[in-house]
Structure 1
């Protein structure tokens, strides 16, 4: 919910003489997005539509997330790129009574979230941004509210540190009489220089659902040897790894280490040439060469949330190498 006199730049939490410089948070003139900057140079941008992280830069200004050149940033469509948030359903679920009528990937990424504030401290080198969406939030997609009439409260936190980015969600059921099922996914688009040079480790021997091919969906197991996954064509897989972290390397050099907290699955996705060219909001057509989605989530089944209870999950993407 917008505040009439919301400042464009939030004040620092402390102005005590002698304290080191503090992170800053700045809004765009139309209050559609905000940017957080660390004194060390790192930054993120978050679109309030979907609470979508659309940029993450290191101290040198190097972008770590892929964003389509045709991504809609005006609230008319879910963003193609960055880190869209999937809730309460992954894909579509025509056989699940509670979510069968919801649009693909639910409504979290197509609702306007409320910015709840920032937090930091003298001992914290980064900044934490909190966003809220609930069944009572004015920005909730009205069609989705009618199709999923549960009382819920979501708190989504984005924490920027000099060498890492963490996104976490707490999904609370506010209705003691109506338990609900949900799925959660952080649809992270990592930027790479050359998809053919990418190797992903941490998935060896993991079972997965392959959503590409004539027999799709099919259940398979990632080979233990070699211990790396390479991308050589359209890829859409839902893994259930035993390891908590997945490492993305390029040309033999580790670049990202993605660690999951209470998220059992990892989706690996790249549309490759034909599918990328067929998607109107995926530009340039050869953009698939510069991205790979490594998406922590809880999507292999359903998370049952009883009244008064909550589901929590998080990912941390650490820059390595």
Structure 2
């Protein structure tokens, strides 16, 4: 019998879009996007060990440099990737509160807690996440920091570090909170990013022309960068203060082509570092010794002066790296 009013077929339930896979195995957190791009974070220092990103639909490639002799068992800071520097950059003068801490402070050698993952659906207020990305959150407090080091800088603090992986980009952001009830503390913070490059002699940094900088290789003399791009022709260790501060975008160029675009939020300084050949001989965990040919550190931070954080206040800074 012909039935003119047949019931309509039930609409098929749309399949959920592919999601990032996040795994915590031992002391490492790994996130892999459906595109195959990935990031790996060591709980020691919340150090990003690896970032494999792709451009224009190509295959993901490693974008960070990691020493072949990097110590990954938590006994010392990692040489390579993206170590977190806090609450001091370098060594402190004897008359400041961080003077007893080792170089670059306590965050990069303390074991952080993995606080979990989120996506743009779970955090619609995020300015950085998309439906194709994933966010990994890590925390460190004065009570969970390395006991031997926190006694050398006895302030009540909390750090929240977020690593956001998206197709073609990586964002790392940090929030520093002063949990003291009645006293301020001074600090410095920096994201010590080791970029992987093909040939350092073909690499330049754009965006620093005309900026003043402290040249650590030349006795900390204050100089002014010539206009144009910064060439890397020997040992380089400079703390730049771009006139536009954090608003000044930076670009790593290789072979005349833009390779990495770096934008900064509330991190007004930029350290440019390459140890070159002679210096690597004195760095025990730098391998191979000619590895300087394939790396360049461009490090957003707030290190040319001290940030004063009042009780209950918070400071937030971030870097966003885009593959070009």
Question: What TM-score, normalized by structure 1, do the two folds share?
Answer: 0.91
Q: Contact conserved, 1:114 with 1:133, CA < 8 A, in 2? A: yes
1:13 corresponding residue in structure 2: none
1:21 aligns with 2:18: yes
Correspondent of 1:317 among 313, 317, 321: 321
CA distance in 2, matches of 1:121, 1:173: 28
Per the TM alignment, residue 17 of structure 1 is displaced from its structure 2 partner at its CA by 5.3
Q: Contact conserved, 2:53 with 2:169, CA < 8 A, in 1? A: no
Large movers: runs of 4+ above 6 Å: none
1:262 aligns with 2:262: no
CA distance in 2, matches of 1:124, 1:178: 41
2:45 corresponding residue in structure 1: 50
Question: Which aligned pairs between 1:1-321 and structure 2 lie closer than 5 A?
Answer: 18-28=15-25, 31-59=26-54, 60-122=59-121, 124-137=131-144, 140-213=145-218, 216-224=219-227, 227-241=228-242, 242=244, 243-320=247-324
Per the TM alignment, residue 121 of structure 1 is displaced from its structure 2 partner at its CA by 3.5
- Report the 3-state secondary structure (helix = DSSP H, G, I; strand = E; otherwise coil) of the residue aligned with 1:35: strand
Per the TM alignment, residue 96 of structure 1 is displaced from its structure 2 partner at its CA by 4.0
CA distance in 2, matches of 1:286, 1:171: 36
Q: Contact conserved, 2:135 with 2:164, CA < 8 A, in 1? A: yes
- Report the 3-state secondary structure (helix = DSSP H, G, I; strand = E; otherwise coil) of the residue aligned with 1:143: helix
1:10 corresponding residue in structure 2: none
- Report the 3-state secondary structure (helix = DSSP H, G, I; strand = E; otherwise coil) of the residue aligned with 2:60: coil
Comparing 70-79 with 58-67, greater Cα deviation is found at 58-67
CA distance in 2, matches of 1:92, 1:117: 33
Unmatched tracts of structure 1, length 5 or more: 1-15
Per the TM alignment, residue 189 of structure 1 is displaced from its structure 2 partner at its CA by 0.2
Per the TM alignment, residue 97 of structure 1 is displaced from its structure 2 partner at its CA by 2.2
Change (3 A) 1:261 1:121: closer
Unmatched tracts of structure 2, length 5 or more: 1-12, 122-129
Q: Contact conserved, 2:139 with 2:158, CA < 8 A, in 1? A: yes
Q: Contact conserved, 1:234 with 1:270, CA < 8 A, in 2? A: yes
CA distance in 1, matches of 2:69, 2:14: 46
CA distance in 2, matches of 1:173, 1:207: 31
Q: Contact conserved, 2:43 with 2:113, CA < 8 A, in 1? A: yes
CA distance in 1, matches of 2:112, 2:175: 14
